[in-house]
Amino acid sequence: MKRLIFILMALLSYGILRAETLKSPDGNIVLDFELDNGVPVYKVDYKGRPVIKESKLGLDLKSGKNLTDGFRLAGSETSTFDETWKPVWGEVKEIRNHYNELEVTLEQPSTDRRMIIRFRVFDDGVGFRYEFPDQPNLDYFVIKEEKTQFAMAGDHTAFWLPGDYDTQEYSTVTSKLSEIRGLMNEAITPNSSQTPFSPTGVQTALMMKTDDGLYINLHEAALVDYSCMSLDLDDKNMIFESHLTPDALGDKGYMQTPAKSPWRTIIVSDDARDILASKMTLNLNEPCVYEDTSWIKPTKYIGVWWEMITGKSTWAYTDLPHVKLDLVDYSRLTPNGRHAANTEHVKEYIDFAAEHGFDAVLVEGWNIGWEDWIGKSKDYVFDFITPYPDFDVEEIERYAKSKGVKMIMHHETSGSVRNYERHMEKAYQFMNDHGYDAVKSGYVGDIIPRGEHHYGQWMVNHYLYALTEAAKHKIMVNAHEAVRPTGLSRTYPNLIGNESARGTEYESFGGNNPDHTTILPFTRLIGGPMDYTPGIFETDISKLNPDNHSYVRSTLARQLALYVTMYSPLQMAADLPENYNRFLDAFQFIKDVPVDWDDSRYLEAEPGDYITVARREKGGNNWYVGSTVDENGHTARFSLDFLEPGKKYIATIYADAPDAHYKDNPQAYTIRKYIVTNKTRIVQPCAPGGGFAMSIEEATDPAALKGLKNYKP
């Protein structure tokens, strides 16, 4: 017996039998960790059902012994954390950050190295990361690959994008995990920069649904000084393994201790609405680093943009096939007559913004260099400070200021990041000098330095550098084609928007699938808000450009709903002013809907089918509801029990007409007003590819209720 006890104690000391269990505060999620013959292994259950089966952890290194096995347990600690914090902007006024934590310290005796794996278990999921303390035998190291596994418990339904080092601008595919390989080639559609890496590789945030009704989301949080993670599927065993974006040499990360990885996140629930409401990704990021955030302001804007996207107008001032910025004299060139960013035309947008209460106007194509900006691997492509001859910077500044409208700067880099960093300080100072406090940046095309990828460690560091340099100038950033967000907006709230997915522009490039906006909140938006640019009222693109036969796969009513369902503190009314003037009654909702909120309620949700959301305005009692549905249509049913008891409200419902359809009758809508209370139950049909929007205003004046009827389904 004594010998048996001695053997057991020896095994425990080397971590072979030692296991740790950690539960969520509500007890529904259980994390188990153990060392299996020196290999770190974890698993996750939700309400007794498997979410992640036994999965290995660790990293392969470029040289020396890998950090995947040969470990023993040096120690473990558990703790609990509970706080409530207030975001600078967001879906809610306050966010609770409540978790139980397990810190596991592992030793690798053969190398005398230490690695910490830190787990945090929330009521809505699990986050974990690797930490590498400062130590003599692990100072500098290069990651060959991270070997984090996520073993699935079945052949789940997945909502996935092809794994790619350079783009997320693919249509989401809905399929079983086992079907990914067979669908991959068709899913990889052309893009200006793309590097798919595997026949079963997919991107995060990855949304899945099990056959027994569990919703599982895999992503990462706090991506800093590390390569972006995709997932590679072993489709025989249904095991995902992390796949980091390489650099030009094929290396995955250059590390110096003390260092840490981003958090690997697993959000889980048996209710799809909980996935949308989760704040775990934000909670795994550090608090705001800025003492003064008064300059960071949610913004609703219009812009000189859609007319170029559709081909009605051009970004370029001339039709020259190529230019050299240090040689060309634009004042001697003949303009093409289709250049949209000219002073008088921009003034028309400023007038429209002022008339309808918009905060700002974005202008693209204002600066020299657009003649040969894309696909040329051109280093010196823009200087970000020199306007075309027909764009008067000083006059635009004066005119916008006189109208109470801000201007949004546009910095397209064409992937020439070295060039952008050379010019960044002057470009930001130019913005300060001319009253611009927000910039839309872009990274279209392959990256320069050549061989680097959009989602590699080098570029991840660049995006953060651009953001923090902008903060020194009190500038907000909306980065397009950048790495997908991972909750960094908590730490750096001047990251007011991102693209990083197929936005509305693709409605002019052949169209988005009708279910697109019923999936994005479950995938792309898990990491942060998207500058989706909704609000297209003229859905037949040929009416703007006879050569473009695309059409928007959405009803007009759903375009209104997206201002609620696609959360962002930066919202664009993307269509042309003349199209809004044709439908001013519907446009009223875009004018009214806020971009910052005190409360949000997810009323209905099923990925790929429908989402219905209610939000309460910042600092007020009015609510706004939006619903987006797929090509099958849907009848929304929900209660207004979130309204304050004992009060009456006026609900204005912007809905699909009975004969509306995203294909052949998208502009058919109705607008009706009703009296509602917290006891009202809404039943609202939505057309295929449609939806509805609703404003709910507190009736403080009884006279406003005259002539209105109580809502009845």
Q: Which active-site residues does the annotation give?
A: 505
Instruction: Spell out the alpha helix ranges (H) of 268-392.
Output: 272-277, 280-283, 306-309, 343-356
- β-sheet bridge partners, residue 240: 150, 233
Enter the tokens of residue 101. 């934590």
Query: Which residue type occupies 100?
Result: N
Burial 250-277 (b: 16+ CB within 10 A, else e): ebbbbbebebbbbbbbbbbbeebbbbbb
**Count of beta carbons in the 10 Å neighbourhood of residue 169:** 23
CA neighbor of 417 nearest in space, from 460, 388, 387, 386:
460
**Count of beta carbons in the 10 Å neighbourhood of residue 607:** 27
> Residue written as tokens 């991506």?
223
- The single-letter DSSP state of residue 316 is -
Angle between helices 393-402 and 343-356 (to 10 degrees): 20
Question: Residue 399 is inside which H or E element, if any?
Answer: helix 393-402
Does residue 492 contact residue 224 with C-beta atoms inside 8 Å? no
Burial of 199 (0-12, 13-18, 19+ CB in 10 A): middle
Question: Residue 495 is inside which H or E element, if any?
Answer: strand 495-498
Does residue 153 contact residue 51 with C-beta atoms inside 8 Å? yes
CA neighbor of 158 nearest in space, from 218, 196, 206, 200:
206
β-pair type (610-617, 299-304): unpaired
Query: Which residue type occupies 45?
Result: D
Query: Which residue type occupies 627?
Result: S
Burial of 606 (0-12, 13-18, 19+ CB in 10 A): middle
β-pair type (436-442, 406-412): parallel
Positive or negative torsion for Cα 498, 499, 503, 506? positive
CA neighbor of 380 nearest in space, from 339, 427, 326:
326
Enter the tokens of residue 45. 């259950």
Burial of 564 (0-12, 13-18, 19+ CB in 10 A): buried
Does residue 20 contact residue 96 with C-beta atoms inside 8 Å? no
> Residue written as tokens 């060392």?
35
Output the DSSP codes for 437-477.
EEEEEE--SS-BSTT--TTSHHHHHHHHHHHHHHHHTT-EE
Residues across the chain? 713
> What residues contact residue 290 under an 8 Å CB cut-off, 6+ apart?
296, 471, 492, 493, 494
Burial of 84 (0-12, 13-18, 19+ CB in 10 A): exposed
Enter the tokens of residue 668. 């058919």
Does residue 508 contact residue 550 with C-beta atoms inside 8 Å? yes
d(Cα 241, Cα 250) in Å, to the nearest integer?
A: 18
